[in-house]
Amino acid sequence: MVGITVRQPLRRWFSGTLLSSGFKIIHQIGLVLLCFLLVSCQSLQLVTRALTPPEEIETLDTSSKYLKAHMRDGGIYVLREWQIDVTSGVITGTGNLLDINRQFQSEGMFRVPIDSVVIFETNQLQPSPVIIPLTIITVASALLSIHCLQPKACFGSCPTFYLTESENQSPVAEGFSASVAPVLEDRDIDALGQAEAGCREIEIRMTNEALETHAVRYVHLLAAPCDNGSRIFATGNGRFWRADEIIEPSICEGPEGDCREALLALDGTERFSTTDPADLAVREIVDLQFDNVPDGRLGLVIGSRQTLLTTYLFYQGLAYLGSSVGWGFANMERNGRPMDHPLGQIGKALGGIEVMLQNDNGEWEVVGEDQETGPIATDVRLVPLPRVDQGPTAVRLRLTRGHWRLDYIALAVLEDEVEPYRLAPIEVYNGDNVDEEARALLLDPSGLLTTLPGDEYTLVYQLPGNFKDNELFLESRGYYLEWMREGWLAEEDPLKMIKMFQKPYQTLRDLAPEFKKIESQMEETFWNSRYERP
């Protein structure tokens, strides 16, 4: 056991603010920090980390005491006293084998085939008062992430999906964006639109274009039958409704004035605003009116994606955790509770898109909310509304300034619920080659297909016989592990991290001026930082 001395500012804070508060932070990730600051373990600090692809094995830093070999299945060999056997094409060494969740598997002498490794990581370490256990999140070297360190706008947030036959090669979906740890594994449904006439097979390309490790449980294509020009829309809780009539807004008024033209079609022309310079939680109002609304069940259709405000705040939270980020996530897993993801209370403070109607007294009441994490692909979702009187219908949206990009708004007259066909891939390709192992993992409820930066799979689906009349959705489930950036380690600040979760509104005010300086650069930096394997 090595005794850990808590630095003086933290000691004072723990004995004062935290203890006197009766541990109110117990349901927040701030408690995780307290746990791992008080745990006794080896005290280490990262001096340098280098990532080396197997084809450049001759450049590997052999002076490094430790070597991590990142494997195709997401596992890691952590070796000491290692050496390269070029003749046999293996790395030999003594150490531990960890699985994708960084759970211990075995210990001993290992022979690791070089051609089975995705990337090697070497570390130079020296004693330090900072606790750095083996992390659940890989630390990416500055060389890999230099283009997105400042502003904090590195591309990512989940697997990204493309329709291979589409002329527009923009992403059509992003899977389980909020599932940043195994305990947060979740199901996600994304609208793809209607199948083109005569198209029997659908090919979907799934990519990992970020510095992330993806663990994919399944990817299903959902085909919901429709006819006579009807449309099918999915709600946030995974229910599907058929709509025979779609009504576009006659009026759309935001703080900037008329915004109707941007919301009439799902065409990439988005209505968005910028954040408040003093408070990132400031709300704004968008007022809509729909004419000639019939009596019956209605739903508001919203096509939107998030801006990069959430991305910035998530990465800033990782920076505050610094060298302790891996231990923090590991403790969240060991606690066995599906806590909020690392944005914690920040995400609640930012909120979703609130849908409001006027009551009999003329007061605006929230009747629903649309909340979909992710800045990559626009998704279309349905917010069911209570019955309203026939005639003009006023709807108000309340949302955080600079947090949402709106592409489409409409009112749908709902008929009935439908149950879509659930289709598994009939073939899976890794590059140009059929990959039966990958397909088997996606079909096995207990299996996980692990992808690393630069990986790409093509999933082939066959539509049912009435394929001309189907609305398509993508259903994916899994989680991902964000890689820490070496350049952010210098920003480690446990007090600010705890404040982010205990006082989210104050944190949003504190960070507003800094975010405002970089807000205009975020989109360009984000899209230009996609990872492509050399």
Lowest mean pLDDT among 29-33, 241-245, 324-328: 29-33
Which structural domain, as residue segments, surrounds residue 51? 47-126
Domain final residue, candidates 66, 96, 126: 126
Structure tokens that stand for 419 in this block = 């149950």
**How confident is the model at residue 102, as a pLDDT?**
67
DSSP 289-353: EEEEEPSS-EEEEEEEEE-SHHHHHHHHHHHHHGGGHHHHHHHHHHHT--PPPTTTHHHHHH--E
Domain final residue, candidates 126, 147, 180: 126
Task: Specify the higher pLDDT residue, 329 or 227.
Answer: 227
Average pLDDT over residues 28-57: 47
Tell me, yes or no, whether 262 and 388 share the same domain.
Answer: yes
> Phi then psi for 289, rounded to 5 degrees?
-135, 140
Tell me, yes or no, whether 62 and 116 share the same domain.
Answer: yes
Average pLDDT over residues 218-229: 90
Give the integer Cα–Cα distance in Å for 515 and 273: 14
Q: What angle do CA 263, 264, 267 make, to 5 degrees?
A: 80
Tell me, yes or no, whether 69 and 151 share the same domain.
Answer: no
Tell me, yes or no, whether 157 and 109 share the same domain.
Answer: no
Task: Specify the higher pLDDT residue, 121 or 4.
Answer: 121
Tell me, yes or no, whether 21 and 84 share the same domain.
Answer: no
β-partners of residue 484 are 139
Tell me, yes or no, whether 243 and 112 share the same domain.
Answer: no
Task: Specify the higher pLDDT residue, 250 or 50.
Answer: 250
Residue-wise pLDDT for 178-220, tens only, equals 888 887 889 999 999 887 656 788 999 999 998 888 999 999 9
Domain of residue 111, CATH code: 2.30.30
| Highest-scoring range by mean pLDDT, 67-76, 122-131, 361-370 | 361-370
Instruction: Provide CB contacts within 8 A for 218, sequence distance 6+.
Output: 424, 442, 443, 445, 475, 476, 477, 478
How many C-beta atoms surround the C-beta of residue 330 within 10 A? 21
**How confident is the model at residue 35, as a pLDDT?**
38
Burial of residue 433 (CB within 10 Å: 0-12, 13-18, 19+) is: exposed
Domain final residue, candidates 85, 101, 126: 126
Handedness of CA 41, 42, 48, 50 (dihedral sign): negative
Tell me, yes or no, whether 184 and 206 share the same domain.
Answer: yes
Instruction: Provide CB contacts within 8 A for 117, sequence distance 6+.
Output: 54, 69, 70, 71, 72, 91
| pTM summary value | 0.76
Q: Report whether 524 contacts 151 (CB < 8 A).
A: no
Confidence band (pLDDT; 50, 70, 90) for 483? confident
Calculate what percentage of the chain has a pLDDT beyond 90.
Answer: 46
Q: What is the 3-state secondary structure (H, E, C) of 250-290?
A: CEEEECCEECCHHHCCCCCCCECCCCCCCCCCCEEEEEEEE
pLDDT of 251 > 90? The answer is yes
**How confident is the model at residue 140, as a pLDDT?**
60
pLDDT of 302 > 90? The answer is yes
Tell me, yes or no, whether 15 and 109 share the same domain.
Answer: no
Tell me, yes or no, whether 346 and 216 share the same domain.
Answer: yes
Q: Give the three-class secondary structure for 449.
A: strand
Calculate what percentage of the chain has a pLDDT beyond 70.
Answer: 79
Cα distances (Å, whole numbers) of residue 529 to 15, 84, 274, 311, 374: 43, 33, 22, 13, 16
Tell me, yes or no, whether 118 and 139 share the same domain.
Answer: no
Find where tokens 């002076």 sit: 63
**How confident is the model at residue 334, as a pLDDT?**
61
Find where tokens 């109607």 sit: 357
Q: Report whether 137 contacts 481 (CB < 8 A).
A: yes
What is the overall mean pLDDT for the chain? Answer: 81
> Phi then psi for 147, rounded to 5 degrees?
-75, -10
Nearest residue to 280 via CA among 516, 524, 522, 525: 516
pLDDT of 69 > 50? The answer is yes
**How confident is the model at residue 462, as a pLDDT?**
93
Find where tokens 């009807």 sit: 230
Residue-wise pLDDT for 271-297, tens only, equals 999 999 999 999 999 999 999 898 889
Residue-wise pLDDT for 130-182, tens only, equals 323 333 445 565 555 556 767 788 888 789 999 987 666 789 999 998 888 88
Tell me, yes or no, whether 79 and 176 share the same domain.
Answer: no
Structure tokens that stand for 300 in this block = 């508001």
Residue-wise pLDDT for 425-458, tens only, equals 999 999 889 999 999 999 999 899 999 888 999 9
Domains identified in the chain, total number = 2
Nearest residue to 319 via CA among 197, 187, 490, 446: 490
Tell me, yes or no, whether 222 and 275 share the same domain.
Answer: yes
Nearest residue to 115 via CA among 86, 143, 139: 86
